[in-house]
Amino acid sequence: MDPPVIGDAFGEMIRDAYAVRTGIGPRPLAGGRLPRPVIEVIERDDGLINGAPADHYLDEPDAWQPYDHRALRLCRGRVLDVGVGAGRSALELQRRGFAVTGLDTSLGAIEVARKRGLHDTVLNTVDEFSRASVRYDTFLLLGNNLGLLEGPERAPVFLAALARLASPGARIVAQGTDPYGTRDSLHVAYHRRNIERGRLGGQLRLRLRYRELATEWFDYLNCSATELEDLLVGTAWRLKSIDDRDRPYYLAVMELAG
């Protein structure tokens, strides 16, 4: 059995989801005839696989979850949307008059965000981009992108990169998921195994697949608010507030210390 090809699985998925929603560009076909809904497939390293419709990456504000609306009200000044994807949040901030930059490592995602009207985009990692001389007042990590902290090893490196890009008084507004509320035995066993290996319980090892493409395996972190506070120790950031009205999802606001 051939392995998938390593490539921009996320970007190709976003391109297709955009084509299906708008009718612009070639659409994926079922049986050569019927447009099919675009599905995001995520594999976890314990053999778990999950599919979910990808269309939500393109949702207009009227279809958003309530915490996404509350997140945008926490933005101020110049905003860097980290992991901008198809531009869902950044486009709305732009409509509201914010100076917003969308950053992503996926070329396909950036191209779709630009087609949808996002003016200022960066195709890069935060690490590389943090050498730029530009500064931001808010770093926005929606769509569960608090997960980009990955785990105890990556988190301080990632947070230091954001600190280099930070204006005085800057904040991070991030949406995360507390993994420990589940009663799903597959997830409970996975958390336990992670802890036995010295990882955080919700330190997921994932890859995304779309058609013939896959990403490399990467860590993606679901952590509790307490674990987040621990990860901030020794960094330039401190936890200012947690809004967990939509548990297990939450919004964390972090501010530059001192």
Q: Which amino acid is at 199?
A: R
| Closer residue to a second copy, CB minimum distance, 119 or 192 | 192
Residues 6+ apart with CB under 8 A from 165: 80, 126, 129, 130, 132, 134, 135, 136, 139
CB of 136: closest distance to a second copy in angstroms? 29
Backbone angles phi, psi at 93, to 5 degrees: -60, -45
CB of 6: closest distance to a second copy in angstroms? 10
DSSP 97: T
Enter the tokens of residue 106: 């996926």
CB of 183: closest distance to a second copy in angstroms? 7
HSE-CB at 13 with a 13 A cutoff on CA atoms is 27
| Closer residue to a second copy, CB minimum distance, 120 or 178 | 178
Closest by CA to 100, choosing from 70, 134, 131, is 134
The answer to whether residues 134 and 169 touch, using CB atoms and an 8 Å cutoff, is no
The answer to whether residues 64 and 72 touch, using CB atoms and an 8 Å cutoff, is no
| Closer residue to a second copy, CB minimum distance, 60 or 216 | 216
| Closer residue to a second copy, CB minimum distance, 167 or 182 | 182
CB of 76: closest distance to a second copy in angstroms? 28
Residues found near a second copy in the complex (CB under 8 A): 1-5, 28-33, 36-37, 39-41, 43, 45-53, 177, 181-184, 186, 205, 209-212, 214, 217, 247-249
CB of 173: closest distance to a second copy in angstroms? 19
| Closer residue to a second copy, CB minimum distance, 6 or 132 | 6
